[in-house]
């Protein structure tokens, strides 16, 4: 509960920052700032050198932290891809914006193509808010808020898109299951593993380089036009199956996952260097984070590190909710600012807890003494009872004020998969969908 509240407080602050900037920009002074949101996919708290990763293979992100502000206690709103992204772009909890399910197993990340739902029209997303202030917005990479045409990001405030509606799973056979499409704005330009190849054996793919060029070109274009912009760079190289381009494969001490992280770090360095070359740094707010913790089910070869924290993606323990986060805005945010913290001790051999109901007596940990969440406070202890007394009114207040959105992840239908996305006719890539049979989604994990 505390983690979610902290996450939403930060999102509200970010929205307030944007609103304030927009109001100031409208009056002419100072100039409206550009905004870059660099969102990683399944990157863990312990994956960056500045957070203690021992191989120190992220020099550009470490430099970004040294020149900006590091957030060691930053939380996502959900330990899963889609709900966290919906919360990030709306500033609202997943249960409010509809990115949740009432089906028995709630731990889903909207990975199946057959999910019927998506981001509701009633939700106001950050790019739509920024459009009112004259911003041009682009999403590069993974959208994951609905793959059907009515959920297209250009219908929710973005002006440009290059990327995919879902993750790069596959390759599929395109008979029972089509490969995921890649879009340029309104139309499909190919599919993963076909026009945009990913070698499942070697992990080689040029996607990060393609996404990097999309970002650099967009920044140069908006700078030349003197228009404020919002760039949402949501790449997915650290989501299993991880990939990297040939120059980075085999270069990390951390295997293929480390290769992907090294390429991301190099790309972030090139983006920051371009901002400096174009003399845009004092007018550009850059925020780097991840959608959720590292996916330990993919470790050790395909997954990252959550540092000293327990568990990872799909769990609400610290490893699933606490994310790396860096803000960079030279001239506005003093270099080297942040919060002093002790990284705690490494906790080995702990991967999960029993799935028990703890609504009435929730597990409570003292993270200062126990960052790995190995030792919950005793239910009978004075410390536990004192903490519970402070937490209970907050939970009750939240429950009383909660107005749930319509759940979007309940219904599945094979007929809504990516059989014939817009633009498939030009490519000769349209596939025939099966009969429409809506059914309750099954979440086997």
Element (DSSP H or E) covering residue 255: helix 255-277
Say how far apart CA 64 and CA 413 lie, in whole Å. 44
The answer to whether the beta carbons of residues 189 and 161 sit under 8 Å apart is: no
Euclidean distance between CA atoms 290 and 284, whole angstroms: 20
C-alpha 419/C-alpha 186 separation (Å) is: 16
260: its two tokens: 């992907």
> What order of strands is seen across the sheet that includes strand 325-328?
187-191, 181-184, 160-164, 136-142, 229-234, 34-40, 284-290, 325-328, 69-70, 337-338
**Catalytic-role residue among 81, 167, 412, 424:** 81
Residue 439 pairs with which residues in a beta bridge? 412
Predicted confidence at residue 22, as pLDDT, reads: 44
- pTM for the whole thing? 0.88
β-bridge pairing 34-40 and 229-234: parallel
> Domains in the chain, ordered, with CATH?
34-341+405-440 (3.40.720.10)
Kindly report the number of other CB atoms within 10 A of residue 187's CB atom. Answer: 14
Predicted confidence at residue 92, as pLDDT, reads: 94
Task: Examine the residue annotation and report whether 144 is marked as an active-site residue of this protein.
Answer: yes
Q: List Cβ<8 Å contacts ≥24 apart for 92-98.
A: 92/8, 92/123, 93/4, 93/8, 95/402, 95/404, 95/405, 96/402, 96/403, 96/404, 96/405, 97/123, 97/405, 98/123, 98/405, 98/406, 98/407, 98/408
Distance of CA 393 to the CA centre of its chain: 30
- One digit per residue, the tens of pLDDT, for the chain of length 445 reads 444 444 455 555 555 554 454 444 444 445 799 999 999 999 999 999 999 999 999 999 999 999 999 999 999 999 999 999 999 999 999 999 999 988 865 566 788 899 999 999 999 999 999 999 999 999 999 999 999 999 999 999 999 999 999 999 999 998 999 999 999 999 999 999 999 999 999 999 999 999 999 999 999 999 999 999 999 999 999 999 999 999 999 999 999 999 999 999 999 999 999 999 999 999 999 999 999 999 988 877 899 999 999 889 988 889 999 999 999 999 888 887 554 332 332 333 333 334 455 567 888 999 889 888 888 899 889 999 999 999 999 989 988 998 999 999 999 999 999 999 999 999 999 999 999 999 998 876 4
**Burial call 276-306: b when 16+ CB within 10 Å, e when fewer:** eeeebbebbbbbbbbbbbbbbebbeebbbbb
Residues forming a β-bridge with 230? 35, 137
Mention every residue, 6+ apart, whose C-beta is less than 8 A from residue 185.
Answer: 154, 160, 161, 162
Quote the strand ranges of 260-321, DSSP E: 284-290
Six token digits for residue 149: 């045409």
Residue whose tokens read 């059989």: 419
CA dihedral 289, 292, 295, 300 (to 10 degrees): 30
**Annotated catalytic residue within 144, 152, 168, 239:** 144
- Taking the C-alpha atoms of residue 364 and residue 386, their distance in angstroms, rounded to an integer, is 11
> What's the token pair of residue 207?
């996607």
* Number of residues that make up the chain: 445
Establish whether 81 is a catalytic residue.
yes
């Amino acid at each position: 509960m505390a983690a979610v509240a902290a996450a939403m407080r930060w999102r509200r602050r970010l929205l307030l920052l944007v609103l304030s900037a927009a109001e100031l920009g409208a009056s002419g002074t100072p100039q409206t700032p550009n905004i870059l949101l660099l969102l990683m996919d399944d990157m863990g708290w312990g994956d960056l050198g500045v957070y203690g990763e021992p191989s120190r293979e992220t020099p550009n992100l470490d430099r970004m932290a040294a020149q900006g502000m590091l957030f060691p206690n930053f939380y996502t709103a959900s330990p899963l891809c889609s709900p966290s992204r919906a919360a990030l772009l709306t500033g609202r909890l997943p249960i409010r914006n509809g990115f949740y399910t009432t089906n028995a197993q709630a731990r889903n990340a909207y990975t199946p193509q057959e999910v019927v739902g998506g981001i509701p029209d009633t939700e106001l997303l950050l790019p739509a808010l920024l459009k009112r202030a004259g911003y041009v917005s682009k999403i590069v990479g993974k959208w994951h808020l609905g793959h059907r045409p009515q959920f297209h990001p250009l219908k929710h405030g973005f002006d440009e898109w290059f990327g995919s509606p879902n993750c790069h799973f596959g390759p599929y056979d395109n008979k029972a299951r089509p490969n995921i499409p890649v879009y340029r704005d309104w139309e499909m330009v190919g599919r993963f593993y076909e026009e945009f190849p990913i070698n499942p054996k070697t992990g080689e793919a040029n996607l990060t380089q393609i996404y990097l060029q999309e970002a650099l070109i967009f920044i140069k274009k908006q700078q030349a036009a003197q228009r404020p912009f919002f760039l949402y760079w949501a790449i997915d190289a650290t989501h299993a199956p991880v990939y990297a381009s040939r120059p980075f494969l085999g270069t990390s001490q951390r295997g293929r996952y480390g290769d992907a992280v090294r390429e991301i770090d190099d790309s972030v360095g090139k983006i920051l260097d371009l901002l400096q070359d174009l003399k845009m740094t004092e007018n550009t707010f850059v925020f780097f984070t991840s959608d959720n913790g590292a996916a330990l089910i993919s470790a050790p070869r395909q997954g990252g590190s959550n540092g000293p924290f327990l568990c990872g993606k799909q769990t609400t323990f610290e490893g699933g909710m606490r994310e790396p986060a860096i803000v960079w805005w030279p001239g506005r945010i003093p270099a080297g600012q942040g919060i002093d913290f002790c990284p705690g001790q490494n906790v080995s051999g702990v991967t999960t807890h029993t799935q028990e109901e703890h609504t009435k007596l929730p597990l409570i940990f003292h993270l200062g003494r126990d960052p790995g969440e190995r030792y919950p406070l005793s239910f009978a202890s004075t410390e536990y009872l004192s903490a519970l007394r402070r937490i209970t009114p907050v939970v009750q207040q939240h429950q009383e004020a909660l107005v749930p959105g319509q759940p979007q992840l309940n219904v599945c239908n094979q007929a809504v998969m990516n059989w014939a996305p817009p633009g498939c006719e030009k490519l000769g890539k349209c596939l025939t969908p099966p009969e429409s049979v809506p059914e309750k989604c099954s979440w086997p994990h």
